[in-house]
Amino acid sequence: MKHRIVVLGAGYAGAYVAGTLARRLSPADAEITVVNAEPDFVQRLRLHQLAAGQEIEAPQLADVFAGTGIRLRLARVTAVDPERRAVTVADTEGGGELGYDTLLYALGSHVADHGVPGVAEHAFHVAGRPAALRLRERLDSLSRRAEGREVLVVGDGLTGIETATEIAESRPGLSVTLVARGELGAPLSAGARGHLRRACDRLGITVLEHTAVEAVEATRVLCADGTVLASDATVWTAGFSVSPLAAVGGLEVTEEGRIVVDRTMRSLSHPNVYAVGDSVHAIGDNGRPLPMSCASAGYTGLQATAAIVGRLTGRKIPNAKLEYHGNHISLGRRDGILQMVDDEGRAKPKYLGGRKAARIKAGILGMSLWTTSHPTFGLPRRKRHLAAFSPEASAEKAVA
């Protein structure tokens, strides 16, 4: 009987791991199934561009995995039962259960409302393709109006900054306001903060700092200091959270619901389960948790792949690097910021800004899309056969 590997989620991390496993494991010994709710690959890092009105490529997953031997199941994951080694899914045919021997959990994250009233009912976001398209339709309608074209972006993290600047540049007829809970660009170096402020001024973005939002209504936002802000489209970018499925299923998770793993991305509570991307609580080489990011998805995916292949084939498991070097921030299509950080996660004094930073960011996104669209990089001639494998065995190959 073949070893059943089920991958939940086909984002940056899930698609990468599935493709790499297909490259390295013999199809005579292992079968790989990817479960994803949407039929296409979502370039999540570019959804703010999609919302602003640009066309963003979305490769069909059926085409991405064609010829790889990977099975694609278009369905929504509704439950994970690590004790029974089963996953429950729902699809147009009613769904069912998928059994597994090894599970890779890569369901990513979604927008977090932090309990603020009205966010779910009235706010837009860019955490998924359907949501970005919904915001795009709203912006289209506002652009056709003669008045009442106030766009309010709540949240001054990377997503909020990129969304506000992209909308302001792509739709100059709209009035864009960015609401920052603290100082705008606080984690950046002084030089990068200055560059960000100049970009906002150039694009006509109004920045409200030290402002907390208490409620979102259909046409306005209520702030903690009593300020009322008119808004024809409120875009919520004030953080992300993960699905409760892992916690409900009994996996050991953090207070935020991220799966707790060892150095190889293996669940501490259930050795058949690995987690990658935004869903995992992984400690980086600097002793700090890796942030939710595309870069972290790559590093955790690389480590999980090495661990799964190593354990299944009886080989040593190498330590992949678990690092976080910095942030690439787009400020529209012709400007950007590249801010590197030190081992403590603090911004280094120097930064790169302008067109060169924008080109670097575009290059990284292009490379990420290419690697996802070619998950096996051409199937190799030689693949590894599985050795006798027991997930609960106490004696394992040492981690290199």
b vs e for 234-250, b when ≥16 Cβ sit within 10 Å of the residue's Cβ?
bbbbbebbbbebbbebe
Q: Phi, psi at residue 157, to the nearest 5°?
A: -75, -170
Q: How is residue 338 written in tokens?
A: 């590249």
Question: What pLDDT does 370 receive?
Answer: 85
More confident residue, 84 or 292: 84
CB–CB of 7/338 below 8 Å? no
Q: At what angle do helices 355-373 and 12-24 cross, to 10 degrees?
A: 50
Q: The dihedral of CA 202, 208, 209, 213: what is its sign?
A: negative
Q: Using one digit for the tens of pLDDT, what is the confidence trace for 293-352? A: 888 888 999 999 999 999 999 999 999 999 888 899 999 999 999 999 998 889 999 999
- Looking at the predicted structure, is the pLDDT value of residue 381 above 70? no
- Looking at the predicted structure, is the pLDDT value of residue 397 above 50? no
Spell out the long-range contacts of 55-62 with Cβ–Cβ below 8 A and sequence spacing 24 or more.
57/369, 58/129, 59/369, 59/372, 59/373, 61/10, 61/15, 61/34, 61/36
Mean pLDDT on 205-219: 97
Instruction: Select from 237, 197, 198 the least CA-distant residue to 216.
Output: 237
Mean pLDDT on 141-150: 88
Mean pLDDT on 226-232: 96
- Looking at the predicted structure, is the pLDDT value of residue 273 above 80? yes
C-alpha angle 21/242/137, rounded to 5°? 100
Q: The dihedral of CA 90, 92, 97, 99: what is its sign?
A: negative
Question: What pLDDT does 388 receive?
Answer: 64
Question: What pLDDT does 390 receive?
Answer: 44
Give the separation between CA 330 and CA 134, rounded to whole angstroms.
22
Instruction: Select from 245, 253, 288 the least CA-distant residue to 269.
Output: 253
Residue 387: count of CB within 10 angstroms of its CB: 12
pLDDT above 70 covers a percentage of the chain that reads 95
More confident residue, 217 or 68: 217
Residue 100: count of CB within 10 angstroms of its CB: 21
CB–CB of 78/88 below 8 Å? yes
Let me know if 69 is exposed, middle or buried by CB neighbors in 10 A (0-12, 13-18, 19+). middle
Name residue 278's amino acid: D
In three state form, how does the secondary structure of the chain look? CCEEEEEECCCHHHHHHHHHHHHHECCCCEEEEEEECCCECCCHHHHHHHHHCCCCCCCEHHHHCCCCCCEEEECEEEEEECCCCEEEEECCCCCEEEECCEEEECCCEEECCCCCCCHHHHCECCCCHHHHHHHHHHHHHHHCCCCCCEEEEECCCHHHHHHHHHHHHHCCCCEEEEECCCCCCCCCCHHHHHHHHHHHHHHCCEEECCCCEEEECCCEEEECCCCEEECCEEEECCCEEECCHHHHCCCCECCCCCEEECCCCEECCCCCEEECHHHEECECCCCCECCCCHHHHHHHHHHHHHHHHHHHHCCCECCCCCCCCEEEEECCCCCEEEEEECCCCCEEEEEEECHHHHHHHHHHHHHHHHHHHCCCCCCCCCCECCCCCCCCCCCCCCEC
For residue 379, what pLDDT band results from cuts at 50, 70 and 90?
Answer: low
